[in-house]
Amino acid sequence: MKHHKTTVKLLMAAAMALPTLAFASLGGTVSSVQADQVKMKATMHVASKSAQYTVHEIEMTSGTLVREYVGTNGKVFGVAWSGPTMPDFRQVLGSYFDTFTQSSNVTKNGHTHMMVRESNLVVHSAGHMRAFHGNAYDPSLLPEGVTSNHIL
């Protein structure tokens, strides 16, 4: 248990050491996605749209791609990332950040894979320097007919 908390703390310290970048956070609204794109001077486009949700992709200047999954209710129910740098978890997770850092339900597989599972937050994070990927979502915000497998 102590080893898992140390892993989460190290991951958080690394994420917070990166330059602060703004993202729409989990549970935020679609309007924050557009505002964040302007603040970051990043490129953004709607990657896909279905009856249940829209995927907004924001490409950071580092090359990391952040995908924000927005339900028809306008709420961000999931986020995913892939690229050479980790996103700022405080920004990506928003109000869920404290749940993430204080979780006792941490599973670690080797040095590069971590999962946090709480009733209102699931985070998968994996990778190594210059090749990170992961996702985070609130199971209670998933639109009807959408599963965690859609958040890639």
101 class by beta-carbon count within 10 Å (0-12 exposed, 13-18 middle, 19+ buried) = middle
Q: How far apart are CA 137 and CA 146, in angstroms?
A: 12
Domain ranges of the chain: 2-142
Predicted local confidence at residue 2, as pLDDT: 52
pLDDT average, residue stretch 69-74 = 95
Residue 9 has pLDDT above 60, yes or no: no
Q: Quick check: pTM over 0.85?
A: no
Predicted local confidence at residue 19, as pLDDT: 40
Lowest-pLDDT choice from 9-23, 47-61, 63-77, 130-144 = 9-23
pLDDT average, residue stretch 111-135 = 94
Residue 106 has pLDDT above 50, yes or no: yes
Calculate what percentage of the chain has a pLDDT beyond 70: 78
Q: How far apart are CA 35 and CA 136, in angstroms?
A: 21
pLDDT average, residue stretch 123-146 = 96
User: Taking the alpha carbons of 1, 131, 12, 24 in that order, is the dihedral positive or negative?
Assistant: negative
Q: How far apart are CA 53 and CA 152, in angstroms?
A: 13
pLDDT tens for each residue of 13-48: 444 444 434 456 899 988 767 666 666 667 788 888
Predicted local confidence at residue 112, as pLDDT: 84
